[in-house]
Amino acid sequence: MLKRVCLLLVVVLGSFVALAQEINCYPTNWWVGMKNPKVQVMVHGKDFGKGVITVADYPGVVVEKIQPAENPNYVFIDLIVSSAAKPGKLEISSKLGKNTMKAGLPLKARRTGNGVTYAQGVRSEDLVYLLIPDRFSNGNPANDKIPGLLDQTLNRDSIFHRHGGDLQGIINHLDYLQDLGITALWSLPVWQNNMPDRTEHGYAITNHYKVEPRIGTNEDYLRLSDELHKRGMKLIQDVIYNHTGLYHFFVQDKPMKDWLHEWPSYTGTNYKDQVLFDPYASKADKAKMLDGWFTPMMPDLNQGNPYVANFLIQHAIWSVEEFGVDGWRVDTYIYNDLDFMNRCNKALLEEYPRISIFGETWVHGVPNQAYFTENTLGDVPFRSNLPGTTDFQTLFYGIQESLTKPFGWTDGVNKLYTTTAQDYMYKDPMKQVIFLDNHDLARFYSVIGEDTAKYKMALSWLLTFRGIPQLYYGNEILMTGFTNPDGWVRLDFKGGWPGDKENKFTAAGRTDKENAIFNHIRSLAQFRKKSTALQTGKLMQFVPEDGVYVYFRYDGNQTIMCIMNTMTEAKTIEGKRFHERTAGFNRGIDIPTGASYSLTGSISLRPLSMLVLELK
């Protein structure tokens, strides 16, 4: 099997791909008035680099360098676009014999409202909703199949084929999301994935500057951003720096021989993050971790190549400026060259000081996770400037253990307590994104055996704990599924397609059980929009006793007391134990139910239940 895979890669990477006689610039446009006036334009077209390259005079623009690549189909041009430049179009030409090829780089006026109306950042005040465009809603059936693309599948009965969901479908249901209490939308990658096999996930990019046509156009993506901002909501973009799709134009037609990390035979990453900080690790293991391919269909980009690095960084800045992105999620963060990642994060934050950045850190253990973000660790091999991560630790070793394992000295809900106690390793734990599941994990409702009592507890925790809470589409309607194979956790949202027999976007289309969960989320999500304690307040936790875990979120204006009974029998706790935080209060109102509880005596807890009390 390995030999066949290696042969496929040799054939594909070594084959000549006929290029259309068109000339393209990357980035496709730029702006005047950027804080960093420098931009490196990659021009791509058949034999463009063979000719005499000329950049037409343009007031306020200085040509620093023109560098033909090893591959004559590419030229790299370093420009300085000064503040004196005006919007217009920069002309670039290549004269080869009697023929002249031309390309143009539009220069636009910048957006207004940096940090206010866009690039605002997604923070602990927000509630993030993660979805897969192909599986959420089909708002435009006309783009379900696009002639000329390699994958022509369209079959909702197969989890491995495309289903037709798109950006218009998302736009059509923004009112639904806003009513639920969502404030920020995170979509899986929107860029073109012109691959022969299943890529509904979007992580095999083949053109960084063109939205995947089966989910819409660049104009549709801009409209989604605008519609979100009109509602006071935010847009998070999912980005992949580590790898790309095997059929990307700059993989099929590489600008230079070291554009990718390539090996004598196919070599995948070892997926071992430990080698990056292990004082005893071998160089060979580190190289395999960082430079091995993520899959045979996803080549590893060489971020040590300055042209690759510039391409990726400029695409990040271009995305924020072009589409008004507010938050930045970095896929497979730990597999990237970490010095490059620091450089990229720095470039984004210098241009957009309020934008938020969080990286996927699917690792095991708080020290491992803290290593890849801003931390308080001492003498470590690398110092990260990444503001936050996806917090797999509070999931795997926190809430999941609390609701699937019996209570013990170090087990059950004690795992959540001890994991949280290690927050001292993070510079700012509030920037960690907490969640119950995502597109790569089993649905949490399935993990806990479809127990709605436990599920309500988990959701109450998610919406009241420290950090940035993230829901996965369908959490609110009890969607189920395990990851064998992954497609079972990426099913369609019922009601998102014309002709669906059920419509879970409406209360009438949901069952009583589904509505109970939807309303539970909605009541807490809408409450936290106005709750300073839940948005930005401090956290104080008490050692769990007999399966009961109590923590507080509080500030100078408000105190919220969260009481989690993970036991299958009723429990009673004495209010006086928590006098440190309850002093001055005599009762609490449970946010989801409106029930009142006295704090002066004992508090009775139902089995497998959680109270979220606003103290009065």
Catalytic residues: 331, 360
Nearest to 611 by CA among 600, 596, 601: 596
Phi, psi angles (nearest 5°) of residue 578: -105, 25
- β partners of residue 108: 31
H or E stretch at 116: none
Tokens linked to 294: 């993520």
Nearest to 289 by CA among 245, 330, 336: 336
- β partners of residue 559: 554
Report the SS3 class of residue 402: helix
Give the span between the Cα atoms of 136 and 252, in whole angstroms: 32
- Please say whether the beta carbons of 605 and 565 come within 8 A: yes
3-state SS of 1-67 is CHHHHHHHHHHHHHCCCCCCCCCEEECCCEEECCCCCEEEEEEECCCHHHCEEEECCCCCEEEEEEE
The residue type of 175 is D
The residue type of 39 is V
* Start-end of H helices in 54-136: 133-136
Length of the chain: 616
Cα–Cα distances (Å) from 421 to 108, 415, 417, 462, 594, in that order, read 49, 10, 6, 17, 31
The residue type of 156 is R
CB contact set of 314 (below 8 Å; sequence gap of 6+): 27, 39, 40
For 94, half-sphere exposure in the C-beta direction (CA atoms, 13 angstrom radius) is 25
- β partners of residue 142: none
Going by their DSSP bridges, the two strands 609-615 and 587-590 should be labelled as antiparallel
Q: Helix 512-528 to helix 452-462 angle, to the nearest 10 degrees?
A: 20
DSSP string, 127-193: -EEEE-HHHH--S-GGGSS-TT-S-----TT-TTS-----HHHHHHTHHHHHHHT--EEEESP-EE-
> What is the torsional sign of CA 209, 42, 295, 300?
negative
Phi, psi angles (nearest 5°) of residue 106: -65, 140
Give the span between the Cα atoms of 183 and 60, in whole angstroms: 40
- Cα Rg of the chain, angstroms: 26
Nearest to 479 by CA among 465, 461, 495: 495
> Sheet holding 30-32: strands in order across?
30-32, 99-109, 88-96, 52-55
For 32, half-sphere exposure in the C-beta direction (CA atoms, 13 angstrom radius) is 18
H or E stretch at 569: none
